[in-house]
């Protein structure tokens, strides 16, 4: 759904731009293709590396780790697994659901889901390419802390 909206917006904007000014449109397309060339292969190889990693690590192992009876420890584990990996949402949420059913801590799952999407060690090389090392390290660092706080907050609310 969101993907379709994005594509429609891009096509409409491009059409409007072409109608208004052909030269500017050409310029923006050349810019876009440069960005694409700069990013695509790197993203692709990173993703295939993550796919390999996910295939090697069995889901049952993640379940055992997140099911740790010590709440604080399980938050730490949840946050670190979420930080290191990128799991697509359609895999992550069902996984989180089954984790919850099999007795994992809710807070650990919250930490896991938030770091999973917001913090990315795997995408760091791409982020560094755009924004430099300092920005990337600080943003990801603060996000990990925030994710843990969110998890603790959920523990308090629920």
46-105 residues in contact with another protein (CB under 8 A) are: 46-52, 54-56, 86, 88-90, 93-94, 96-97, 100
Alpha helices in the chain (DSSP H): 2-20, 22-56, 59-66, 71-84, 89-101, 106-118, 124-157
Among 44, 59, 64, 103, which residue interacts with another protein (rule: CB under 8 A)? 44
Judged by CB under 8 A, does residue 109 bind another protein?
yes
Residue 137 to residue 156: CA distance in whole angstroms: 29
Task: Report the chain's C-alpha Rg in angstroms.
Answer: 20
Contacts of 116 (CB under 8 A, 6+ apart): 81, 82, 85, 86, 87, 92
Which residue number, 43 or 72, has a Cβ lying nearer to another protein?
43
x/- track of binding to another protein for residues 4-43 (CB under 8 A): -xxx-xxx-xx--x------xx-xxxxxxxxxx-xxxxxx
User: At closest approach, how far in Å is the CB of 158 from another protein?
Assistant: 6
Q: Which stretch binds another protein (CB under 8 A): 59-67, 69-77, 140-148?
A: 140-148
Q: Is 70 left (phi over 0), alpha (psi -120 to 50) or beta?
A: beta
Judged by CB under 8 A, does residue 113 bind another protein?
yes
User: Both tokens of residue 72?
Assistant: 């604080």
User: At closest approach, how far in Å is the CB of 62 from another protein?
Assistant: 15
Number of chain positions touching another protein (CB under 8 A): 82
């Amino acid at each position: 759904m969101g993907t379709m909206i994005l594509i429609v917006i891009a096509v409409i904007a491009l059409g409007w731009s072409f109608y208004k000014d052909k030269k500017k449109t050409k310029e923006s397309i050349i810019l876009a293709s440069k960005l694409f060339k700069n990013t695509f292969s790197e993203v692709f190889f990173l993703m295939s590396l993550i796919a390999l990693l996910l295939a090697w690590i069995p889901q049952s192992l993640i379940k055992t780790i997140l099911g740790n009876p010590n709440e604080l420890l399980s938050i730490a584990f949840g946050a670190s697994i979420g930080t290191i990996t990128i799991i697509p949402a359609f895999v992550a949420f069902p996984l989180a659901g089954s984790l919850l059913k099999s007795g994992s801590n809710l807070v650990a799952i919250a930490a896991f889901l938030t770091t999973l999407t917001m913090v990315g060690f795997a995408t760091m090389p791409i982020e560094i390419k755009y924004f430099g090392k300092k920005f990337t390290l600080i943003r990801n660092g603060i996000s990990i802390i925030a994710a843990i706080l969110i998890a603790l907050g959920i523990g308090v609310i629920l």
